[in-house]
A and B are shown apart, each in its own frame.
Chain A
């Protein structure tokens, strides 16, 4: 990875994101102060990383520094995309994304070593260790005896996808009706805006990457809101693994747009607190998403292939 010296540290970017989340959750508006000491106490860190995080936000135009008053919010936090797309990327994030990309593309083996990853991505040991720690926390890798790290199974083949849908069909509808579902109103509003843009886009300009972002955020929101912590945690872990297998779930734009409309219908029911209805819609949504494309086809198949089996000397 080049430009290592110019890139901010991973924990500073992460803290900047948490400050943004706090500003949104506490209903702050443009012009409100971002007190260094208050934020340091809130996140149990010293003022130094808070200052670095605020500097990152200022660099993105989200905050502004004033000589006498310190940092203030420059924009209304509800207008900011809560994905991390706008924040600068760190080496750790770039390598984390590259590992997931290369694993999904079957470029990385089932087992990898720290030195192998250092060599492949041209980064320091500490960067690779941070990435592996995060992958491990996300339950995407596990330490094997010796120097190796093993990738945990991801739904990246047809059988894995089937198992994934079975798992989600068992838990996602249940997550919506478990007592105590917490509705994240601001997040729902942001998701709705993004999905409405997708639902009205035409086929030629449909933003597939934006769909996958909103799809992940939508399903993660349901896991996070679930009143049953064990169900929520199991789903969150599973959604992280799904993100590592994006290559195996390429589907047509028609279905992606239809899927977006299903997401919007579920959001409607969640906001109306009609959780049974939302749960039923989720079951239908997952069944619709399960790919039904034939695995293989040819003239007259499958009759053709049965006939060919009978040909003497055809092998």
Chain B
């Protein structure tokens, strides 16, 4: 029998090792803390420090080696050289070159952390586990408490005959493109999916249908997808099992814009490609060259590569980290990679997106931005200076788009996704 839930329930978050999932969970954890719960974070090896900065306890999983600090720079430099071109491929060509190897790595991680995760959850004795990941860990189901699945990637992560396949970047009306992608994906994913199913069965979970790496939670599934980009489904994702949050944005500290020597009172444009996306310094330098000729202020998140830049233009400001929600709220346009967190934040604050995707669900969110008319899609590499300048200018200067997005943003903020998520989680505890 499950022990009685305390008045101050312990909520163990286990987000994947990416800033998008991590910071989305921070938003929900902040709302839970405000409601009197005790959120804690279980961290993948090598991914820690983020949650402590928001005042949450962190627990580290042992069992998989993290990169040493000393070797990391050389490692990432080599990574850029080896894989930059992978991000130049079409979504279909990325299946074999990027998506399948990524799944293989994700399954590696799941296998590696299974035992330490079981031990840690036994020790923590949480009242509920919140999993924000694209893969299921048998240890979570074995913890003996309700578990919540957070779908912080694009809605395409949950397949449906009417929904374009995940990572395809296909539009809803592109039936031929979807069919071709599905066929190629199914052929490529087989071996790694079979390996994952063997791992599940060996650890007490049933096998999943081909291509699926995580099931719906029998307790609660939280969907971040904003209403404005929701897809029609043959099998609706209905409450109470599925709760749509219409965005889920954390509370962040205030943003004070730096002083720009040029265009200091002009509209602000924010650029952030996520932590992986910032590794291509040459690409961002090329973009900065275009920015320098536009009459706007530009903030550019350059991740860990800030020291690689010199002679930054007077209307551009680089940093390795920004309080993103507060910055997006102050921006007139947001250039990003289509990461779900970034896309949701843009909509939440009523800011148009210029999506330049390079992998994973970024392709899907780029398609949604176009279809819903809340932004534009531009290839990550295949653009001319004039095309980038035109796209940025069009988004900044489009008053009608700004008005429509302002309404979307107001609706999303009123929905209070983080509070709704916290209430739904606590309600499942009885």
Contact = CB atoms under 8 A, between A and B. Distances in A.
B413 to A, nearest CB: 14
Nearest to B302: A106
Interface string B251-293: 1111010110100000000000011101100000000000000
Given A106-B311, A294-B47, A308 B16 contact: no
A158 B303 CA distance: 11
B108 A315 contact: no
Contacts of B311: 106-107, 109
A111 to B, nearest CB: 12
Contact of B46 (A106, A258, A302, A313): A302
Interface in B355-394: 360
A204 B314 contact: no
Interface string A290-315: 01111111111111111111110111
Given A105-B258, A106-B312, A253-B253, A308 B83 contact: yes
Contacts of A252: 53-54, 252-253, 323
Q: Which residue of A106, A291, A296, A315 has the most chain B CB atoms within 10 A of its CB atom?
A: A296
A14 interface: no
A156 interface: yes
Interface string A143-157: 000000000000011
Interface in B72-95: 72, 75-76, 78-79, 81-86
A222 to B, nearest CB: 25
Contacts of A109: 310-311
A314 B86 contact: yes
B142 interface: no
A251 B53 contact: yes
B49 A299 contact: no
Interface string B44-63: 01111110111100000000
Most buried by B among A204, A256, A300: A300
B254 A206 contact: yes
Interface stretch (B96-104, B197-205, B219-227, B346-354): B96-104
A98 B264 CA distance: 14
A302 B307 contact: no
A209 B55 CA distance: 21
Given A105-B317, A250-B322, A308-B83, A208 B307 contact: no
A7 B101 CA distance: 64
Given A157-B306, A314-B86, A299 B108 contact: no
Contacts of A295: 72, 76, 275, 303-304
Nearest to B310: A106
Interface string B301-330: 001101101111110011111110000000
Contact of B307 (A98, A156, A303): A156
Contacts of A105: 258, 312, 317-318
Contacts of B97: 311, 313-314
B49 A294 contact: yes
Contacts of A4: none
A26 interface: no
A14 B276 CA distance: 48
A248 B312 contact: no
A133 interface: no
A122 B258 CA distance: 21
Nearest to A247: B319
A306 to B, nearest CB: 7
A301 B83 contact: no
A254 B258 contact: no
B42 interface: no
Given A101-B259, A303-B112, 19 more contacts: A102-B261, A106-B310, A157-B306, A203-B252, A247-B317, A248-B319, A252-B53, A252-B323, A255-B53, A292-B49, A294-B47, A296-B303, A297-B18, A297-B275, A298-B275, A300-B105, A300-B106, A308-B86, A314-B82
13 contacts: A106-B309, A206-B253, A247-B319, A250-B321, A252-B53, A253-B253, A291-B49, A297-B22, A300-B102, A301-B276, A307-B101, A309-B79, A314-B97
- The 10 residue pairs across chains A and B that have the minimum distance between CB atoms: A253-B253, A292-B49, A157-B307, A304-B105, A307-B105, A300-B105, A295-B304, A298-B276, A300-B106, A315-B82
